[in-house]
Structure 1
Amino acid sequence: MVRGIFMNIYEIEKKVSEICGTNAKCLSTKELVFNPVFRKYCEENKCGMYGRNYMCPPDIGTFEEVKQRALKYEYVIFYSTTGAIRDFDDKENIKLIESRHNGNAEKITEFFRENIDKTILNVASKCSYCSECSKITNSPCKHPDKARACLSAYCIDVSKMAEKCGFEFKSDGKSLSFFGAALFCCDDAI
């Protein structure tokens, strides 16, 4: 339910687009494309965070649990952050794009928290709010209200969602896109 001022879906898309500097697309969560194969990548620990971050598997839940959690929301707004790279070994620019994307995600979270109830935010990379996740020391999460899961942990198929939203999936060695999604309920949105 919208808090304060009334906003429709198109106004929400416009605001998220302004924050990211790229397109944003709002869909029903019924249109989310899930693929359990992404959980296998997590289990293979490709990023090194499996079992080391509360917002990553196995702590975030099973494939069915995260899917059901996502589907409790009415809408998803899909967005991206794109930047230039020399090639895929250009770690410096990749980190800059990721950092800009995480900054955009923070701004989107603030926007949703100020205007809309029940929001969850997924970003293209592991939760990096803390320099080291409390999971490492078996301590509770220090910022559960700010912690974010990545789209892969939710088994959301980014390439299919980008296609569905009409976004260019840039990963050509010259540019790179990070994707994110905010899931929310909004009784007043039309």
Structure 2
Amino acid sequence: MNVLEEAKKLFQNCDELPREAVILNPEVRDMCESNTCGQYGRNWACPPALAPLDEIKEKFDKFSNFIMLSQIYELEDSMDFEGMTEGIKDFQERLVKLNKELKGSGTPYLILGAGGCSLCAKCTYPEQPCRRPDDMIISLEAYGIEVIKVMKDNGLKYNNGPNTMTYMGGVLY
């Protein structure tokens, strides 16, 4: 199964980057502690529930390929919170579909998304173990990936104009 071809079926932009172009930055991971997204300490796919960055780097370094995924969503205006919410929901659903397509392919992979995992209506963290650990989608930032820098350094467009929202994800394989 070709991972890039499967991704292209679901996402507007699928850019294969050298794996070495994606750096894990401890400062990005540390920003999770400021809890901007509201998931710190509330989600199995976010710090502090995740392994330390050095352990994540060991896992990350086992992969040789990286695909940056992005999807652009039109908004009514820059304050269209409903449009942003619908966009992230759609984006995460696309990641789940890609995960389902790649399962059983025999190709080791890891899908990274935007924001905390949202597979369950309410995460069990920290009271109970994750209900779906094999389906969990961890954010790029929780892995310490500085998304805008990766985009800029590789000539990829992050800002797609007024009244749009672009969500980013990635696939390591």
Check whether TM > 0.5: yes
Q: Secondary structure at the match of 1:96?
A: helix
Structure 1 position 165, deviation (Å)? 4.2
Q: What TM-score do the two structures reach when normalised by structure 2? A: 0.90
Aligned residue number for residue 122 of structure 1? 112
Q: Secondary structure at the match of 2:39?
A: coil
Structure 1 position 168, deviation (Å)? 1.2
The 8 Å contact of residues 46 and 142 in structure 2, kept in 1 or not, is answered as yes
Pick aligned residue for 2:150 from 161, 176, 179: 161
Q: Secondary structure at the match of 2:125?
A: helix
Name the Cα RMSD after superposition. Answer: 1.9
Distance 1:180 1:68 in 2: 20
Q: Secondary structure at the match of 1:25?
A: strand
Aligned residues: 173
Cα gap change, 1:60/1:91 in structure 2, threshold over 3 Å: closer, same or farther? same
Pick aligned residue for 2:46 from 50, 56, 71: 56
| Structure 1, unpaired ranges of 5+ | 185-190
Cα gap change, 1:165/1:108 in structure 2, threshold over 3 Å: closer, same or farther? farther
| Structure 2, unpaired ranges of 5+ | none
Pick aligned residue for 2:79 from 68, 71, 89: 89
Structure 1 position 68, deviation (Å)? 2.5
Structure 1 position 39, deviation (Å)? 2.0
**After TM superposition, where is structure 1 displaced by more than 4 Å over at least 4 residues in a row?**
none
Deviations 1:109-150 (A, max 9, x none): 1222142422211101110000111114x1111111111111
Q: Secondary structure at the match of 2:84?
A: helix
Aligned residue number for residue 70 of structure 1? 60
Deviations 1:60-92 (A, max 9, x none): 122222222212212111111111123442110
